[in-house]
């Protein structure tokens, strides 16, 4: 075990996760770094997850929600239940190597303004290929997992990235407290999907660094994201679609939108055309956006008023 560098809590939000939760928790309790607490928020699972969690109750703090509070709401619950120096946000379908916690905390401690960190996430079904080494974003404001499907032999260097995937994200408490809005770290208007990108963008605006540490390894059982549109419920597809516009509304700069107008217009035309022809039901998500427009505008005002980073600092990540 390496030197003690601060307390850490691990937060897991489950929803019908019975197939994965045991393997996930075995990895959690196999860490070489001491874990102060493990918090599990179950979002009204119906598949036996709650019964499976019963055997872990002596080692975890478990909350059984009566309704699905979403990824964002569930993790905000867990964050409020802990006071650790670091919080590992972990998907129930991720298995950690034994040094994942130690290595991600180490890189945060060693880097000034280090706010978030991720390791090398590999596909559980095929560990020779990468699931994520952080987040990248392009000029059309589309975010992707960096290195996805590339060989696991790549990305050997520790480096700064735009953001970290919420599948296995280590966050410093000092950053969480700094970038919270109305007591929320993850924006609960998002419910799920792209909330980690929204956090990454906001953290960049507030001057925090996101770090990739290749010696921290984990294995991810990628679900709906790997399937075609038919494998994802309409509710999920609508969230993924509209949450992109919510994060643009909150975090973007009109001057940079104008600067990146060509790639944005090209993508918007293609996206709208696809929705009209193939998935017109997606467009119903705009009712949620306009229903929350006033709240999004208020949050934008707070974020832009508190930002510390220059446009050059933030938009250097937009490829």
DSSP 218-282: EEE---GGGS-GGGS-HHHHHHHHHHHHHHHHHH--HHHHHHTHHHHHHHHHHHHHHHHHT-GGG
CATH 3.90.550.60 domain residues, the chain: 8-226
User: How would residue 1 be classed by pLDDT, with cut points 50, 70 and 90?
Assistant: very low
Q: Which residues contact 36 (CB under 8 A, 6 or more apart)?
A: 7, 8, 9, 82, 84
Mean pLDDT of the region 169-186: 97
Q: At what angle do helices 293-306 and 234-251 cross, to 10 degrees?
A: 40
How many Å separate Cα 35 from the centre of its chain?
21
pTM of the model: 0.94
Q: Which of 3-17, 51-65, 192-206, 228-242 has the lowest mean pLDDT?
A: 228-242
Q: Which residues contact 265 (CB under 8 A, 6 or more apart)?
A: none
User: How would residue 3 be classed by pLDDT, with cut points 50, 70 and 90?
Assistant: confident
Mean pLDDT of the region 14-24: 96
pLDDT at 224 over 60: no
Q: Do 203 and 210 meet the contact criterion of CB atoms below 8 Å apart? A: yes
Mean pLDDT of the region 228-242: 79
User: How would residue 231 be classed by pLDDT, with cut points 50, 70 and 90?
Assistant: low
Give the pair of three-digit tokens for residue 66: 């009566």
State percent of the chain over pLDDT 70.
Answer: 97
User: How would residue 226 be classed by pLDDT, with cut points 50, 70 and 90?
Assistant: very low
Task: Specify the CATH number for 8-226; select among 2.60.40.10, 3.90.550.60, 3.90.1150.10, 3.40.1800.10.
Answer: 3.90.550.60
Q: Do 36 and 8 meet the contact criterion of CB atoms below 8 Å apart? A: yes
The span from the CA of 240 to the CA of 143, in Å, is 11
Give the pair of three-digit tokens for residue 202: 């906001």
Mean confidence (pLDDT) of the chain: 94
Mean pLDDT of the region 52-76: 95
pLDDT at 313 over 80: yes
Distances (CA, A) of 198 to 135, 251, 316: 11, 8, 17
């Amino acid at each position: 075990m390496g030197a003690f560098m601060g307390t850490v809590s691990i937060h897991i939000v489950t929803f019908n996760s019975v197939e994965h939760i045991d393997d996930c928790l075995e990895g959690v309790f196999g860490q070489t770094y001491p874990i102060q607490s493990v918090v599990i928020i179950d979002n009204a699972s119906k598949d036996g997850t709650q019964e499976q969690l019963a055997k872990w109750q002596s080692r975890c703090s478990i909350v059984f929600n009566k309704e699905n509070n979403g990824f964002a709401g569930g993790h905000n619950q867990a964050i409020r239940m802990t006071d650790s120096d670091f919080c590992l946000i972990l998907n129930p379908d991720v298995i950690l190597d034994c040094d994942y916690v130690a290595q991600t905390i180490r890189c945060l401690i060693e880097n000034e303004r280090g706010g978030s960190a991720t390791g090398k996430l590999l596909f559980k079904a095929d560990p020779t290929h990468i699931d994520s080494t952080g987040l990248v974003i392009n000029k059309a404001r589309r975010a992707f997992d960096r290195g996805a499907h590339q060989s696991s032999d790549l990305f050997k260097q520790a480096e700064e990235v735009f953001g970290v995937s919420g599948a296995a994200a280590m966050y410093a408490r000092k950053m969480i407290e700094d970038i919270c809005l109305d007591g929320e770290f993850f924006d609960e208007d998002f419910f799920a999907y792209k909330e980690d990108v929204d956090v990454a963008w906001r953290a960049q605006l507030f001057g925090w660094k996101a770090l990739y540490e290749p010696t921290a390894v984990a294995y991810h059982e990628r679900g709906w994201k790997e399937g075609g549109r038919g494998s994802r419920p309409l509710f999920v597809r609508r969230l993924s679609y509209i949450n992109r516009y919510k994060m643009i509304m909150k975090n973007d700069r009109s001057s940079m939108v104008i600067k990146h107008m060509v790639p944005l217009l090209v993508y918007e035309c293609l996206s709208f055309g696809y929705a009209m022809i193939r998935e017109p039901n997606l467009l119903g998500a705009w009712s949620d956006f306009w229903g929350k427009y006033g709240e999004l505008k208020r949050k934008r005002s707070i974020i832009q008023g508190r930002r510390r980073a220059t446009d050059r600092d933030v938009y250097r990540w937009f490829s």
